[in-house]
Amino acid sequence: MRGLLWVLALFALAVGLSLFGRFDEAYVHLVVPPYRAELSLKFAVVGMICVFFVLHLLLRLFTLTSALPQRFRAFFQRRKSEKGVDAFGEAFRLFAEGDFSASLKKASTAYETGRARGAPALLAARAARKLRDEAALKKWTFNASEADAKMRSASLMAEAEMQIDAHRPEEALLILDRLRKLSSPPRSALWLELRVQKELGNPDEILKIARLLEKHAVPSPESIDSSEPLSALKTAMHAENLRKRSDDASRCQAYWNAIPKDEITSALAEIHCRALLWLGASEGVQKIIETQIEREWHSGLAALYAELPNEDDLSQRLSNAEKWLPKHSGETRLLLALGQMALSLDTNKARIYLNAARARQDNREARLLLARLEETEGNTEEALKYYRLAAESVPRAAQSESPAEALPEKMPDAAA
């Protein structure tokens, strides 16, 4: 369509020129003292058109010539930026391959030659951290922040990781405080703060951070070892706080009451109950064990249930424990606990439970309890036989799942 319009326009121009050429009476009188000139109108018009085109060409030539330096600068800048992009891609590839020294060199080249300098500087800082080069890390984190304000938080995180790797948690905490003051700090920085607080040994702060990580569902960065589940970490921190209060039953119970229900585990309940028993505050321990076992089975709590010091309600405790048997009939520790409680009440029932436990797992605890049973019935020979068998090297019953390091320092082992 456009071509047709151009053809029509050319035909119209040709018609106009032919009509214009019929009139030759007009002329143009030019006076430039002391000269005079008369030109036909057609010649003057053609001359003016030619002069216009010549001036236009000269002006275009001048404009192009004056713009050559700028064009050359833009060309070389473009070539430089392309080299920077290539160098950054190569630096990233080397970083992914684990060649951090070469990656640092390529990232430096990309920073010097590229137009977007923040990302290459940050990559250089990460490579410097992998190389444990603290001076280079500080240099490149500063360059990254200066080149692009958006790189500020990532730069501070790299510095904090370097301080954590160097086992300087106080300095790392100061850097993380600066990071928190930014307008929108990344939530993944919580994992770094968690590492710092673990190194400083602050259970309360660790619990606070772990709850925030769970609340916001923050995934763990690859640079941080998160093999320990947050639930297990919270259990360990609660156990540590209970251990610190293991010299005062009231403080221990107050802390237990303050633990959120969704963070109470059977392993933690066993630690708390053993601490109370060690302090001689057995009141309420039975209820804690019964409530927790109904919520979550734990063989350590079942064994502890048989060790409660109150003999007055032994019959009731035995009756309660027998209610757990249908759901957990295969638990050796439960059968041992039932046999232990039945020793003072019904020796026949105790024998049944202990023989059943021994049939499932021939362990030292079962043999010792059978020896006590035979002593109670006056069968000295049989008791000595079981004592000799107990002295032999045989597998022990399954131990409590609670972490040993979380138990109070002055308290005996969970299997004692």
What was the pLDDT predicted at 376? 85
**pLDDT beyond 70 at 74:** yes
Burial class (CB in 10 A: 0-12, 13-18, 19+), 361: middle
Separation of alpha carbons 336 and 318, rounded Å: 12
pTM for the model stands at 0.68
**pLDDT beyond 50 at 406:** no
Contact status, residue 391 vs residue 385, Cβ threshold 8 Å = no
With CA atoms as reference, report the closest residue to 269 among 225, 315, 238.
238
pLDDT, tens digit (0-9, with 9 covering 90-100), for 196-241: 999 999 999 999 999 999 988 888 776 555 556 888 899 999 999 9
With CA atoms as reference, report the closest residue to 333 among 349, 318, 352, 353.
353
Partners of 32 in beta bridges: 35
Domain-by-domain residue ranges, the chain?
82-147, 148-221, 305-399
What was the pLDDT predicted at 413? 36
pLDDT, tens digit (0-9, with 9 covering 90-100), for 154-204: 999 999 999 998 899 999 999 999 998 887 888 889 999 999 999 999 999
**pLDDT beyond 70 at 408:** no
What was the pLDDT predicted at 401? 40
pLDDT, tens digit (0-9, with 9 covering 90-100), for 319-337: 999 999 888 878 889 999 9
CATH class of 82-147: mainly alpha
| C-alpha dist (Å) from residue 167 to 160, 161, 173, 200 | 11, 10, 11, 10
Tell me what the mean pLDDT of segment 371-396 comes to: 80
| Average pLDDT over the chain, rounded to an integer | 85
What was the pLDDT predicted at 311? 67
pLDDT, tens digit (0-9, with 9 covering 90-100), for 356-374: 988 888 888 888 888 888 8
Tell me what the mean pLDDT of segment 106-132 comes to: 90
What was the pLDDT predicted at 415? 31
Contact status, residue 305 vs residue 321, Cβ threshold 8 Å = yes
**pLDDT beyond 70 at 416:** no
Pick the CATH number of 305-399 from 1.20.1640.10, 3.40.50.2300, 1.25.40.10, 1.10.1200.10: 1.25.40.10
